[in-house]
């Protein structure tokens, strides 16, 4: 694929997930910032999203889209304060909020995690259910099914003209048909909470990731949203296992890692994690 368009840039403001990784911050839980031309989206702003954004030089007042995949605090915690930043302190209707149904309206299990007060300020509020499609600036976004302990949880496919698609599974267990939802994406971001042979209902293990990647065959796979068992086991080792099994280039994201997707997919880690100052 050859293009002269601006790349999509991803900044992993956190790669931790689950209760104990969140409580201990062994891996940060700030979610992912997505930048493309005039588009500035924060995906799953968990605890620390605001602080880590500022630390990374990402002005939260420039956000024009907030995506929340489901109603658990490691995915939604900082959403309201980012809405306040996006809307200039709640003084201007601005931007898009797209969130799972439970996040906006609650469910039998969960209360809404974004107040009615905050929901009234974005220009566009989207109840993100599987099959829903919408745009934020020039990015086309479609909502995919997930199977999680929040039944309203969703995954996302994000497409930029001339660049192609990236996708984010959110928290989900493997289910028949999940591969079809993400077929054709260039970059597949998988929330892999647990390592191989450590299943947990509603979540993905390394074994599940292998099956999904084999069915999807992306150009590259990125693992993120690691629970404590995964952190102890070492996500890099799990990524290497996945790559061996699938023959798909696979990496484990690190806190602060940046990626650019254009003609090529380029990766930059922070010096704290690896002594690299250039995209590789």
Counting every residue written for the chain, the total comes to 280
d(CA 153, CA 172): 8
Task: Output the pLDDT for position 207.
Answer: 98
Task: Output the pLDDT for position 270.
Answer: 64
Q: What is the pLDDT of the chain when averaged over all its residues?
A: 94
Task: Output the pLDDT for position 51.
Answer: 98
Tell me the per-residue pLDDT of 206-259, one tens digit each, with 9 for 90 and over: 999 999 999 999 999 999 999 999 999 999 999 999 999 999 999 999 999 999
Strand partners, 142: 133, 157
Task: Output the pLDDT for position 103.
Answer: 98
Considering the chain, what percentage of its residues have pLDDT values greater than 70?
Answer: 95
d(CA 16, CA 22): 7
Tell me the per-residue pLDDT of 126-144, one tens digit each, with 9 for 90 and over: 999 999 999 999 999 999 9
Transcribe 66-85 into DSSP letters.
Answer: EEE-SSSHHHHTTHHHHHHH
Task: Output the pLDDT for position 3.
Answer: 52
Show the CA angle centred on residue 185, arms to residues 43 and 159, nearest 5°. Answer: 55
Contact 80/111 with Cβ under 8 angstroms?
Answer: no
Task: Output the pLDDT for position 139.
Answer: 97
Task: Output the pLDDT for position 269.
Answer: 78
108 phi/psi in degrees, rounded to 5: -65, -25
The gap from C-alpha 199 to its chain's centroid, in whole angstroms, comes to 21
Tell me the per-residue pLDDT of 4-38, one tens digit each, with 9 for 90 and over: 678 999 999 999 999 999 999 999 999 999 999 99
Contact 223/195 with Cβ under 8 angstroms?
Answer: no
Which SS3 state, helix, strand or coil, does residue 221 take?
Answer: strand
Q: What is the mean pLDDT of residues 48-72?
A: 98
Task: Tell me whether residue 240 is exposed, middle or buried, using C-beta atoms within 10 angstroms of its C-beta: 0 to 12, 13 to 18, 19 or more.
Answer: middle
Q: What is the DSSP letter of 92?
A: S
Task: Output the pLDDT for position 110.
Answer: 95
Q: What is the mean pLDDT of residues 78-82?
A: 98
Task: Please give the class, per CATH, of domain 8-268.
Answer: alpha beta
Task: Output the pLDDT for position 273.
Answer: 43
pTM value is: 0.94
Transcribe 104-167 into DSSP letters.
Answer: HH--SS---SS-HHHHTSSSEEEEE-TT-EEEETTEEEEEEE--SSSTT-EEEEEEETTTEEEE
Q: At which residue do the structure tokens 């368009």 appear?
A: 5
d(CA 187, CA 221): 6
Instruction: For residue 72, give the nearest of 112, 21, 16 by alpha carbon.
Output: 112
Instruction: For residue 69, give the nearest of 192, 125, 153, 168 by alpha carbon.
Output: 153
- Per-residue pLDDT band for 148 (boundaries 50, 70, 90) equals very high
Instruction: For residue 235, give the nearest of 190, 275, 267 by alpha carbon.
Output: 190
Task: Output the pLDDT for position 276.
Answer: 30
């Amino acid at each position: 694929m050859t293009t002269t368009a601006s790349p999509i840039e991803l900044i992993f403001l956190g790669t931790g997930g689950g209760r104990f990784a969140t409580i201990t911050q062994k891996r940060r839980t700030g979610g992912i910032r997505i930048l493309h031309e005039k588009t500035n989206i924060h995906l799953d702003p968990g605890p620390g999203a605001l602080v880590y954004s500022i630390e990374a030089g990402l002005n939260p007042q420039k956000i024009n889209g907030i995506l929340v995949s489901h109603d658990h605090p490691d995915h939604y915690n900082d959403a309201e304060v980012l809405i306040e930043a996006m809307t200039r302190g709640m003084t201007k209707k601005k931007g898009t909020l797209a969130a799972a149904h439970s996040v906006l309206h609650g469910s039998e299990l969960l209360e809404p995690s974004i107040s009615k007060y905050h929901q009234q300020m974005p220009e566009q509020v989207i109840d993100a259910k599987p099959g829903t499609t919408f745009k934020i600036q020039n990015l086309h976004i479609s909502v995919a099914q997930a199977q999680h302990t929040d039944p309203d949880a969703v995954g996302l496919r994000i497409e930029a003209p001339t660049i192609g698609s990236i996708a984010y599974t959110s928290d989900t267990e493997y289910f028949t048909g999940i591969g079809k939802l993400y077929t054709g994406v260039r970059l597949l971001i998988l929330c892999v909470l647990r390592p191989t042979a450590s299943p947990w209902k509603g979540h993905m293990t390394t074994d599940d990731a292998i099956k999904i990647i084999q069915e999807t065959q992306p150009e590259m796979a990125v693992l993120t949203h690691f629970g404590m068992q995964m952190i102890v086991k070492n996500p890099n080792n799990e990524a290497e296992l996945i790559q061996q099994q699938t023959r798909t280039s696979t990496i484990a994201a690190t806190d602060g890692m940046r990626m650019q997707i254009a003609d090529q997919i380029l990766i930059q880690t922070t010096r704290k994690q690896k002594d690299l100052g250039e995209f590789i």
